Amino acid sequence: MLILSAALAVLAVQQPSAPPPVEWSRRPPIEYPERALSEDIRRGRVTLKCRFEQAMPLDCVVVEETPAGYGFGAAALRAVRRGVATPGVEGERTVVLNFVLG
């Protein structure tokens, strides 16, 4: 039991804490994807990894897109390029954009 407790403590110390969510001074302007509109897909969610420099999102890539194939990932990439984070946001960060119709 003592060995297991020590191993769990080591794992907890080694895991880096996630940076806080990105706060925006100019929110990304989200445009609903045309294909999702035409097929009445009411919700979508995209997770991006972006590198921020001087509060500007750079080098963003789609990590997850749900549902896939309806254009949510491309729409999220377009939107985030037009957003500006609050001053002080730097380095690699995760950005989650939720699309809700209606």
DSSP string, 50-92: EEEETTEEEEEEEEEEESTTSSHHHHHHHHHHT-EEPTT--EE
pLDDT at 15: 53
What percentage of the chain reaches a pLDDT higher than 90? Answer: 77
What would be the CATH architecture of the domain defined by 22-100? 2-Layer Sandwich (3.30)
Predicted TM-score of the model (pTM): 0.80
Domain regions of the chain by residue span: 22-100
**Residue range 57-90, pLDDT digits in tens:** 999 999 999 999 999 999 999 999 999 999 999 9
Residue 1 pLDDT > 80 = no
